[in-house]
Amino acid sequence: MRLVLDTNIVASGLLWDGTPARLIDAAQTGAIEIYTSRILLAELTRILKRAKFAKVIAASGVGIDGLVLGYAELATLVEPVPIPPTILADPDDDHVLACALAADAELIVSGDQHLLGLGAFKDIEIITAAQALERIVK
C-alpha cells in the first residue's frame, strides 16, 4: 500500500509511541510504502525545530537532522508536479496533495482538518492515522 504521511503524522510518529509510530514501523517492515518530497522534508525539519519538541528530541539522542535523515531514508522521494490551489485556507497542505499525486499514493494520512475535510483528492483517500492502521493490520 502506497501512503503519503502528512508532516504532523511523521513528527508524531518519530517523537512518540502511538498510532503514527506504528505506521512508521509498518514502513520499516515493508508492510507499506511511504512517499515524501523535498518540500515535505523541509517542512518536517521546520516543525521539529519548534521549542515544544526540544526536550523529546534531546531525549531521543538522535537530533533533528538524524530524525529527518532517517525518515528520508525510509521514504521514497518523489518530485511533485504543480497542482491548482486546492486548500485555500492552508496552501502548504497542497504540497501533501501534490506529493501524493506524484507518488500515485493510495492514501494520504493526516491529522490536519483541512486535508481530512477534503476527504479525497483525485481518487486518493485522505484518512486519519488510526483509519490507516486499521487497513494495514487487516
C-alpha cell at 80: 511533485
pLDDT in tens, 107-118: 999 999 999 999
- Per cent of the chain over pLDDT 70 is 99
Q: Which domain holds residue 46?
A: 2-137
Note the pTM of the prediction, 2 decimals: 0.96
In the block, which residue shows the cell 497542497? 94
Which grid coordinates belong to 133? 492502521
User: How do residues 9-32 score in pLDDT, each as one tens digit?
Assistant: 999 999 999 999 999 999 999 999
| CATH code of residue 105 | 3.40.50.1010
If one counts the domains in the chain, the total is 1
Q: What is the DSSP string of the chain?
A: -EEEE-HHHHHHHHHSSSHHHHHHHHHHTTSSEEEE-HHHHHHHHHHHTSGGGHHHHHHHTSHHHHHHHHHHHHSEE--PPP-----TT-TTHHHHHHHHHHHT-SEEE---HHHHHH-EETTEEEE-HHHHHHHHH-
